[in-house]
Amino acid sequence: MALGPAPWLGPLLLASLWGLSAPASLLRRLGEHLQRLQESSGPRLHLGPGAAALPRAGWLEQPLDPFNASDGRSFLQRYWVNDQHRAGQEGPVFLHLGGEGHLGPGSVMAGHPAALAPAFGALVISLEHRFYGLSIPSGGLGMAQLRYLSSRHALADVVSARRALSRLFNVSSSSPWICFGGSYAGSLAAWTRLKFPHLIFASVASSAPVRATLDFSEYNDVVSRGLASVAIGGSLQCLAAVSAAFAEVERRLRAGGAARAALRAELRVCGSLREAEDQAELLGALQALVGGAVQYDGQAGTPLSVRQLCGLLASRGNGSHPVPYGGLRRAVQIVTHSLGLRCLSLSRAETVTQLRATKHQASGLGDRQWLYQTCTEFGFYVTCKGPGCPFSQLPALPSELDLCEQVFGLSASSVAQAVAQTNAYYGGQRPGATRVLFVNGDTDPWHVLSVTQALGPSEPALLIPGASHCLDMAPERPSDSPSLRSGRQNIFRQLQTWLRQANQGQLPRGA
């Protein structure tokens, strides 16, 4: 058990001032931005004199290779603890799993599971994912190190952390452990219960994309429906305006010369836009900007909601007709300013150079690590197919797969094989795990890779109308919709039922 960080753990670069490349990069920064804002909006504790400060950070010494007992190497994994509401040694433990990014003190203070802890007398702990945030092993991020980065390694960390934390906080052997997580971490929460039912009593998996997929064209299908949805501020006119704006971008790219130069300045592009691959970087970033408005619609701190984006695209220029491109340009200004970004996109060559950097300070928010996980486990490459997609028809999938080759030397066939192996190992959208509550919003493009309908009496699912990505995990707000409030009540009731049955001894631990 370690008491503090090792000396090589320098300060994490919390904000990247360089530009963005693939859609995943912009969406990750947007998600990180919202997570920090939402965590900082959590309740503040007013403690009396002499009271211990909450929440508290700690460090666990974890094996670098948990699957090889003869390998003595280790790393320090950060966790946070909030025992303000703990009712006793036999109360439940709510374990919030971190995903592909930094995990801060707000993870045990704001949103789920902190909001549920008082009602159940729960001890709340969060665990940062290996190779992200400050939980980065010494030795850099070269390929020899990254072989120890995977969801399977993360699950092994949960198992050893559960043992260590039980001893450290004197948790009773009869205390039920409940895992919580959102997005990739939501998948981890579900898989932890699937693989270790004797250790994890139940899980709440929010917006969990449990089906890995190489070509994620369904993402933009949901984005298109969101842009056209009157319920969240969209319209068919808005969808058409997005299509018109992207057509204008592509027209200017083809025109070259002054038109392309003006485009580069207006859309805050650091790359030259001379090469086709650099143009694809720009179009990918613009797709992510629009997709992000749908994915995080209605969340506190989001730069643009669907309603706001559609309002910009429908705004009128000097003439009497809307100028969609002008609205898209304004949207770029708003998003880059909100995220503190100097550029919307870089040249492809610069992107590759940055992703090849093996020092963890140079990797910003974990772009290299997450790209590695997509190349070796998940895919998740967003593409645009069919006449209904309002974005570029450029072949994004070959471009993404080429990034795996350029950065890590991984072939397209190996990536496809890795995705298939992930689904075979975890079961895709039919994982077969009992006492896992899958929670999704139908506005979230990722819900199509999750479980949205109950698979059995002990495999429940909840689909919240109008809710975006991980919205159920966000702190409550007065403006929350009735459907969101109802969804959170359903989560509470499900946990109440499971924990009541556990207390009455009606369920075997591994059932």
Contact 326, 61 (CB under 8 A): no
CA separation, residue 328 to residues 108, 289, 333, 335 (Å): 37, 9, 9, 11
Half-sphere exposure of 20 (CA within 13 A, CB side): 28
For residue 341, the 8-state DSSP code is -
Would you state the structure tokens that stand for residue 382, as one six-digit string? 């967003």
> What is the 8-class DSSP label of residue 394?
S
Q: What CA dihedral angle connects 498, 500, 501 and 503, to 10 degrees?
A: 120
Give the other-Cβ count within 10 Å of 473's Cβ.
26
Task: Please pick, among 297, 367, 444, 480, the residue that the annotation labels catalytic.
Answer: 444
Strand partners, 2: 59
Catalytic residue selected from 278, 469, 472, 480: 469
- Rounded CA-CA distance 296/32 in Å is 12
Among the options 135, 151, 183, 229, which is catalytic? 183
Q: Is 221 a catalytic residue?
A: no
User: Is position 33 annotated as part of the catalytic site?
Assistant: no
Strand order across the 461-464 sheet: 56-63, 74-82, 123-127, 93-97, 177-182, 202-206, 436-441, 461-464
Tokens of 102: 């930094």
Catalytic-residue membership of 235: no
166-194 exposure pattern, b = at least 16 Cβ within 10 A, e = fewer: beebebeeebbbbbbbbbbbbbbbbbbbb
- Which residues carry out catalysis? 183, 444, 469
